[in-house]
């Protein structure tokens, strides 16, 4: 079998002295899409932050294509080809759409290639072309998510990590975003690591899924069969309305909807 693009072993990390990841292991094969599911506070965001270098690694290893990247600063992890679409998008609110997109390309020196890729992003998201001079602050949630994904794509990543891309979006937009992710993975071979509360969409996109709870991976398996496992069904799908209502309340509390 080929070497996995991302391999994490026994990773421990957290905030100050308080642990958020308690020995997490995960493997992402090159060209695959992997979903990480779990309730609020399970450690999903912390996992992506630890991979991208925004949280320290206390113990364990993070390897990208066999190369140890743990402990590197975020800009160095990005240079190795890891792009992170963070929870809540984190655009520069006062910068234009175009400057936000270009902020993802700081590590690139090839200006003609960059211009082509920027045009490619405007072709993919025509609405962003119309809004290219508008400050990110004035965009809708869906437009902001497109900019956040465009900013990640312009870095030409080997691994694209997305933290709750559906957050605060209408069902139609969520379907559009997931259709785009599927196309990027299936047609262009881009490797994806997606953290989602929208379990059904994530399992439809992913080849493999993991379930996190209290900083640990408690289950993993084939995404199509994963939905049938009792733990996932009971907690997230069976009476899925509860989980969805809970997360809606949480999102409202945080002012995202």
Ligand X SMILES: Nc1ncnc2c1ncn2[C@@H]1O[C@H](COP(=O)(O)OP(=O)(O)O)[C@@H](O)[C@H]1O
Contact 35, 10 (CB under 8 A): no
Find residue 219's DSSP bridge partners.
211
Of the pair 22, 134, the CB lying nearest Mg ion is at 22
Q: What is the CA radius of gyration of the chain?
A: 18
Backbone angles phi, psi at 41, to 5 degrees: 85, 0
Give the three-class secondary structure for 189.
Answer: coil
CA distances from 25 to 59, 65, 181, 199, 217 (A): 12, 15, 24, 21, 7
Residue nearest Mg ion (C-beta atom):
45
Q: Per-residue contact track with ligand X, 13 to 42, x per CB under 6 A?
A: --x--x-x-----------------x-xxx
Among 11, 44, 151, 226, binds ligand X (CB under 6 A): 44
Of the pair 15, 58, the CB lying nearest ligand X is at 15
Can you read off the two tokens belonging to residue 10?
């026994």
- Nearest distance, CB of residue 200 and Mg ion, angstroms: 18
Backbone angles phi, psi at 246, to 5 degrees: -60, -45
Give the three-class secondary structure for 107.
Answer: coil
Distance (Å, whole) CA 204 – CA 57: 31
Of the pair 84, 101, the CB lying nearest ligand X is at 84
> Is position 166 an interface residue for Mg ion (rule: CB under 5 A)?
no
Of the pair 100, 197, the CB lying nearest ligand X is at 197
Of the pair 112, 255, the CB lying nearest ligand X is at 255
Q: Per CB under 5 A, which of residues 24..53 are in contact with Mg ion? A: 44-45
Q: Could you give the count of Cα atoms lying within 13 Å of 68 in the half-sphere of its Cβ?
A: 8
> Is position 170 an interface residue for ligand X (rule: CB under 6 A)?
no
Of the pair 28, 37, the CB lying nearest Mg ion is at 37
Among 13, 28, 37, 43, binds ligand X (CB under 6 A): 43
Can you read off the two tokens belonging to residue 114?
């960059």
- Nearest distance, CB of residue 190 and Mg ion, angstroms: 22
Give the residue carrying structure tokens 């069976």.
Answer: 238
51 interface partner picked from ligand X, Mg ion, none, CB below 5 to 8 A per type: none
- Nearest distance, CB of residue 108 and Mg ion, angstroms: 29
Segment near ligand X (CB under 6 A); pick from 43-51, 77-85, 134-142, 152-160: 43-51
Can you read off the two tokens belonging to residue 52?
């991208």
Q: Could you give the count of Cα atoms lying within 13 Å of 122 in the half-sphere of its Cβ?
A: 14
> Is position 197 an interface residue for Mg ion (rule: CB under 5 A)?
no
> Is position 46 an interface residue for ligand X (rule: CB under 6 A)?
yes
Of the pair 40, 239, the CB lying nearest ligand X is at 40
Catalog residues that contact ligand X under the rule CB under 6 A.
15, 18, 20, 38, 40-46
């Amino acid at each position: 079998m080929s070497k996995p693009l991302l391999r994490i072993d026994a990773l421990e990390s957290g905030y100050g002295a308080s642990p958020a990841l308690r020995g997490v292991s995960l493997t992402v094969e090159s060209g695959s899409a992997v979903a990480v599911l779990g309730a609020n506070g399970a450690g999903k965001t912390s996992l992506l932050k630890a991979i991208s270098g925004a949280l320290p690694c206390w113990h364990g290893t993070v390897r990208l294509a066999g190369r140890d990247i743990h402990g590197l600063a975020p800009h160095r992890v990005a240079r190795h080809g890891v792009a992170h679409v963070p929870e809540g998008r984190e655009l520069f609110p006062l910068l234009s759409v175009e400057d936000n997109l270009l902020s993802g390309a700081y590590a690139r020196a090839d200006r003609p290639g960059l211009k082509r890729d920027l045009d490619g992003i405007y072709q993919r998201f025509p609405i962003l072309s119309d809004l290219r001079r508008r400050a990110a602050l004035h965009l809708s949630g869906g437009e902001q998510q497109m900019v956040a994904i465009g900013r990640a794509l312009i870095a030409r990543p080997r691994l694209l990590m997305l933290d709750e891309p559906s957050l605060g979006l209408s069902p139609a937009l969520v379907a559009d975003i997931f259709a785009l992710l599927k196309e990027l993975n299936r047609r262009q071979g881009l490797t994806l690591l997606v953290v989602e509360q929208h379990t059904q969409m994530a399992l439809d996109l992913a080849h493999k899924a993991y379930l996190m709870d209290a900083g640990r991976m408690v289950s993993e398996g084939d995404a199509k069969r994963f939905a049938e496992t009792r733990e996932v069904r009971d907690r997230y799908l069976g009476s899925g309305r509860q989980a969805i209502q809970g997360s809606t309340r949480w999102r409202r509390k945080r002012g995202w909807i």
